Chains A and B, each alone.
Chain A
Amino acid sequence: MNLSVNLCGLKLDNPIIPASGTFGYGNEFKDFYDINILGSFAFKGTTKEPRSGNPTPRIAECTNGLINSVGLQNPGIESVIKHELPLLRTFFHKPVIANISGFSIDEFIYCCEKVDKEPQVGLIEVNISCPNVKYGGMSFGTTADSAAQVTQAVKSVTTKPVFIKLSPNVTDIVAIAKACENAGADGICLINTLFGMRIDLNRRQPVIANKMGGFSGPAIFPIALRMVYQVSQACNIPIIGCGGISSAHDVIEMMMAGATAVQIGAMNLKNPYICKEIIEQLPEVMEKFGIENLNDIIGIAHQH
């Protein structure tokens, strides 16, 4: 039985990757289990400057998911390279995915140049889809032109594989994915969170201090699956499927839609062992559906 997959030369023992923003820099999860069993993981969205993020409350519960409005709180790229990555090396011995965000093309370039020099970074994930920050974040991911500009700029400063993480909050995600591919992206990661909102009935005001935030969790799985299916039909670069995955069955389904690997986000917050449990369950579920090699099912649903 073969669970290993290949993302542009980055060989993963299995397709399971905790998604950025739900796994910190790995440190919190090492107390729950040996995180070396993971395919890889995407570290917390990191920007050029340290960011304190949005005011609290930043979290609102939803049916089968949650809204977050963290706002890219992170210690900044210098501190991540100086403190977080050396610490990570002591307990994680696989290449990590660096999730980079920015408020200008120059900031994306700055961060990518920095992580390009880090041997532990196996792949760069460029986040042009954060809904929780003004001026930047998602605004780069909502038009094909700006998405292509960021892709091109980042590709010019690194030899590591570059995946662009796309926002679902757009009219035509296929056009944006195509623009990234044409601009040189090595792969696409989708989807980031959906823009959502909750209102507290007692207080008669939005639950989240910033009023709106990013909705994720099992509720969004069908939307993510549909978008992965559409993008994989139109593009010839690998896709990391992300959005609402909560079981080994979901992993198989996402891969059949066209994903080469998957990211698991919100469920890490509810069940810190979810990635471990899915990795352990995968062989059994593969056997149930007559799958010997996971690579055989990538995009197989397109044949019908």
Chain B
Amino acid sequence: MFKKGLYTIVSNQPLTKTIYKMVLQGDTCYITAPGQFVEIEIPNKFLRRPISVCDYDKDSITLIYKVIGEGTSFMSTLLPNNTLDLLTGLGNGFNTDIPQKQPLLIGGGVGIPPLFSLAKQLTINKIQPTIIMGFNYADEIFYRKEFESLGCNVLISTLDGSVGTKGYVTDVIQNNQLTYDYFYACGPLPMLKVLCHTLPTEGQLSLEERMGCGFGACMGCSIETKSGMKRVCKEGPVFLKSDLKL
């Protein structure tokens, strides 16, 4: 089910030079799983902006977004008590009801946020995930402490090696000889492709696509999977590795 409503900004702060964290207050009853997203109406823009939910409780939503274009630039200027029109409860989200003992949660850059509520849910389910976060440079790192405060082991890669493993998230997995029986991932498409082709276990990957509506009406974001055409906004954004043709 979906919900459209006005949400009041509680806080809107930069975490890095381009990454912002926004907390909104409002009804969250239609958010049912980590990895779902919201569609935000931006004044003077025709299409809403899809942003993944980083965290939520019964009356607040945390979004972490990267300032890329005019829509997200506008969002970064908003102040507490400003309101935004949101569609919530969009997408399938991650399925945590999977037999697993040691999952990896692998995020690249602004793909990391939806893994936070996922990690929270898994720890509630008494599963302790290992978090692997990939960044380009040290000054882009965010949310390390937040994940650690959930009791998770957090491993980091940076392209220049200034923090953690030098290279990519896949180098972290190789260098640390990690044992795992499942994985969840969100990040840039090249990263997801490599994970699909190199990790031996089943896993769930959250994809990104340009969207029209965000709720399954326009077929603007359809991708071809092994079981036919699927809408990233409706049957996704989370897909099983075994179903993807990456």
Query: Does the CB pair B216–A73 fall under 8 Å?
Result: no
Q: Which residue of chain B lies nearest to A56 when distances are taken between CB atoms in the complex?
A: B209
- Stretch binding the partner chain, chosen from A225-233, A266-274, A283-291: A266-274
- Stretch binding the partner chain, chosen from A59-67, A135-143, A171-179: A59-67
Interface of B is mostly: loop
Among candidates A23, A52, A65, A217, residue contacting B229 with C-beta atoms closer than 8 Å = A52
User: Any chain A CB within 8 A of the CB of B45?
Assistant: yes
Which residues 31-78 in A have Cβ within 8 Å of B in the complex?
Answer: 31-32, 44, 52-53, 56-66, 68, 70, 73
Which residues 184-236 in B have Cβ within 8 Å of A in the complex?
Answer: 209-213, 215-224, 229, 234
Q: Which residues of A lie under 8 Å from residue B47 when comparing CB positions?
A: 59, 61, 66, 269-270
B198 to chain A, nearest CB (A): 24
Considering residues B1, B48, B217, B229, which has the most beta carbons from chain A within 10 angstroms of its beta carbon?
B217
Which residues 8-51 in B have Cβ within 8 Å of A in the complex?
Answer: 41, 45-48
Complex formed: what's the CA distance from A62 to B226 in Å? 33
Size range of the interface on B?
20 to 34
Which residues 118-159 in B have Cβ within 8 Å of A in the complex?
Answer: none
A241 to chain B, nearest CB (A): 21
A50 to chain B, nearest CB (A): 9
User: Any chain B CB within 8 A of the CB of A24?
Assistant: yes
Q: Which residues of B lie under 8 Å from residue A217 when comparing CB positions?
A: 46
User: Any chain B CB within 8 A of the CB of A22?
Assistant: yes
Size range of the interface on A?
35 or more
A213 to chain B, nearest CB (A): 10
Q: Which residues of B lie under 8 Å from residue A24 when comparing CB positions?
A: 216-217, 219
Query: Does the CB pair A64–B222 fall under 8 Å?
Result: no
A28 to chain B, nearest CB (A): 4
User: Any chain B CB within 8 A of the CB of A29?
Assistant: yes
Q: Which residue of chain B lies nearest to A62 when distances are taken between CB atoms in the complex?
A: B46
Query: Does the CB pair B216–A56 fall under 8 Å?
Result: no
A residues near B (Cβ < 8 Å) are: 21-24, 27-29, 31-32, 44, 52-53, 56-66, 68, 70, 73, 207, 217, 266, 268-273
Listed from nearest, the 8 A-B pairs whose CB atoms lie closest are: A269-B213, A59-B220, A57-B210, A28-B216, A59-B210, A73-B219, A28-B217, A59-B212
B residues near A (Cβ < 8 Å) are: 1-2, 4, 41, 45-48, 87, 209-213, 215-224, 229, 234
Known: A28-B213, A58-B221, A269-B212. 15 other contacts (CB 8 A): A21-B218, A24-B216, A28-B216, A31-B2, A32-B4, A44-B219, A57-B209, A59-B210, A61-B45, A64-B46, A68-B220, A70-B218, A270-B48, A272-B213, A272-B217
